[in-house]
Amino acid sequence: MEIKGKIHEVAPTVQVTDSLKKREVIIEYIENPQYPEYLKFEAIQDRCNLLDNVRVGDDVEVFFNLRGRPWTDKTGKKTYFNSLQLWKINVLAGANNNTVPEYAPPVDLTSTPEEDDLPF
């Protein structure tokens, strides 16, 4: 599965156990501009390095697997958990890059230049 969104937050890598490390990233997903969604993805083991080159504000395309598992507590109550496991991320546009805006800012045509150095 994949979605496009904007990096909202990138967490540091956490060593969960001796053999498991994970890193989380929050993506602002805007299907409906009135109600943006904030989705948490997790990168596990060597995939944690995929988040080294992304910055808050970057437009990205995230490829992930949807995972689910049951868990039974000490009283015997069963609960289900879902996770979005990131396996690839592409930066589409950086937050700090020098790209040309899609629109031109308005120009004030009423002001006159103080000195016109054009030959005509």
pLDDT in tens, 4-37: 999 999 999 999 999 999 999 999 999 888 999 9
Task: Give me the mean pLDDT over the 64-71 stretch.
Answer: 96
Look at residue 118 and tell me if it is in a domain: no
pTM of the model: 0.73
Report the CATH number at residue 75. Answer: 2.40.50.140
Give the per-residue pLDDT at 17: 93
Give the per-residue pLDDT at 101: 42
Tell whether the model's pLDDT for residue 82 goes beyond 60.
Answer: yes
SS3 48: helix
> Could you please report the per-residue DSSP string of 49-83?
GGGTT--TT-EEEEEEEEEEEEEE-TTS-EEEEEE
Longest CA–CA separation in the chain, Å: 89
Give the per-residue pLDDT at 42: 97
Q: How many domains does the chain have?
A: 1
- Which residue is listed with tokens 């009135």? 34
Q: What angle do CA 14, 6, 26 make, to 5 degrees?
A: 25
Look at residue 55 and tell me if it is in a domain: yes
Give the per-residue pLDDT at 104: 45
Mean pLDDT in the chain? Answer: 86
Query: Is 56 in contact with 37 (CB distance < 8 Å)?
Result: no
Look at residue 119 and tell me if it is in a domain: no
* Torsion sign (Cα): 108, 112, 118, 119: positive
Look at residue 107 and tell me if it is in a domain: no
Look at residue 100 and tell me if it is in a domain: no
